[in-house]
Amino acid sequence: MSRAQRRRISGRTVVISGAASGIGRALAQRLSSHGCPVALTDIDEVGLKDTEAGLTGPTLMRVLDVRDADAQHDFAGEVREWAPAPLGAVFNNAGVAVASSVLDSDVDDDNWLWDINFHGVVNGTRAFLPILVEQDSGAIVNTSSVFGLAGMPNQSAYCSAKFAVRGFTDSLRQELRGTGVTAINVHPGGINTNIVRNARFRKDPEGRGRTHEQMVAEFAAITMTQPDKAAEIIHKGVESGKARILVGPDAYLFDMLTRVAPTHYYDLLGAVMGRVRNRAEQSASATA
Ligand SMILES: NC(=O)c1ccc[n+]([C@@H]2O[C@H](COP(=O)([O-])OP(=O)(O)OC[C@H]3O[C@@H](n4cnc5c(N)ncnc54)[C@H](O)[C@@H]3O)[C@@H](O)[C@H]2O)c1
């Protein structure tokens, strides 16, 4: 069997954290409809039950905080017992956002984010990797971001955690060379999910006096990709053997600019993002 065939995950069991909303929910829906038994976790029990209610295939669901390494380990044991098919992929997807300048940063907010976005990914990887290594097949699929490719203002905690996910996952992939297991980084651009609604803000970091609701609306207006499209890109990316999956047209822009202008990318990105934001504001006020 070729390596590419071994990466096929349709029909195999998958594990998805952060499955109560956004990209995680869309992955659950897509992969379940492609014959995957799905093992789902989230801290949001109501959202998780809503996800499960929309699925028709085999599902195992647990309310779990990805920061809890023991809980992730116990869940891996449950999945090992339950899995109706070998494990195809483990999506360490749960994540949160914080927006603040470094100067104004709140230690608790930044630690909250690092514990979920980085240590949550490490916990999930450590819990499930032994199963994949034993099978000698499958993929650890860790969610970084385009903010794991470029440093952005008012995103120091988020960027540092997502760069860390990228480094951790790339290191793991090198360790796994020559085996049937791999580790993949996912770098989504703006996806229209609840990430900004669920984010922590103390004040508008750009000093424009926006409320949290206004920031949620602005984010929704500038996102270029819907969660179901993101899930399709991620699913196809894993199956086609990619080590790094860029999600959405803006992800390709980030990738290109950080390569051609490694220290000056924000000169261009900031201008593009400002223009997209202005257009979104104009269309919002035209429809108001
Ligand atoms: N939406 C975007 O534009 C975007 C861009 C790049 C990367 N990402 C990343 O994609 C991933 C999915 O985010 P999303 O956009 O779908 O956001 P979302 O807020 O819609 O979904 C995130 C899910 O993670 C869950 N979660 C939060 N903390 C948790 C914890 N401690 N334990 C378990 N579950 C927890 C939430 O309850 C939620 O269901 C995140 O890692 C995020 O950083 C998102």
Mutate to test the pocket of ligand 1, among 25, 48, 72, 96 (most ligand atoms within 8 A of CB): 96
The span from the CA of 261 to the CA of 268, in Å, is 9
What is the full per-residue pLDDT of the chain (288 aa) written as tens digits?
444 445 899 999 999 999 999 999 999 999 999 999 999 999 999 999 999 999 999 999 999 999 999 999 999 999 999 999 999 999 999 999 999 999 999 999 999 999 999 999 999 999 999 999 999 999 999 999 999 999 999 999 999 999 999 999 999 999 999 999 999 999 999 999 999 999 999 999 999 999 999 999 999 999 999 999 999 999 999 999 999 999 999 999 999 999 999 999 999 998 888 888 787 777 666 655
Distance from the CA of 95 to the center of ligand 1, in angstroms?
4
Residue pair 77/1 in contact by the 8 Å Cβ criterion: no
Which residue has 């499958």 as its token pair? 138
Domains and CATH numbers, the chain: 3-252 (3.40.50.720)
Residue 174, token pair as written in the block: 């090198």
Residue pair 80/57 in contact by the 8 Å Cβ criterion: no
Phi, psi (rounded to 5 degrees) for 96 = -135, 170
Q: Identify the residue whose C-alpha is closest to ligand 1 atom 37.
A: 44
Ligand 1 atom nearest residue 196's Cα: 19
Distance from the CA of 198 to the center of ligand 1, in angstroms?
8
Mutate to test the pocket of ligand 1, among 41, 117, 191 (most ligand atoms within 8 A of CB): 191
Active site residue 266: no
Q: Other C-beta atoms within 10 Å of 243: how many?
A: 13
Q: Identify the residue whose C-alpha is closest to ligand 1 atom 42.
A: 95
Residue pair 266/147 in contact by the 8 Å Cβ criterion: no
Q: What is the pLDDT of residue 63?
A: 98
Ranges assigned E (strand) in the chain: 13-17, 38-42, 59-63, 87-92, 98-99, 138-143, 181-188, 200-201, 244-247
Q: Identify the residue whose C-alpha is closest to ligand 1 atom 30.
A: 65
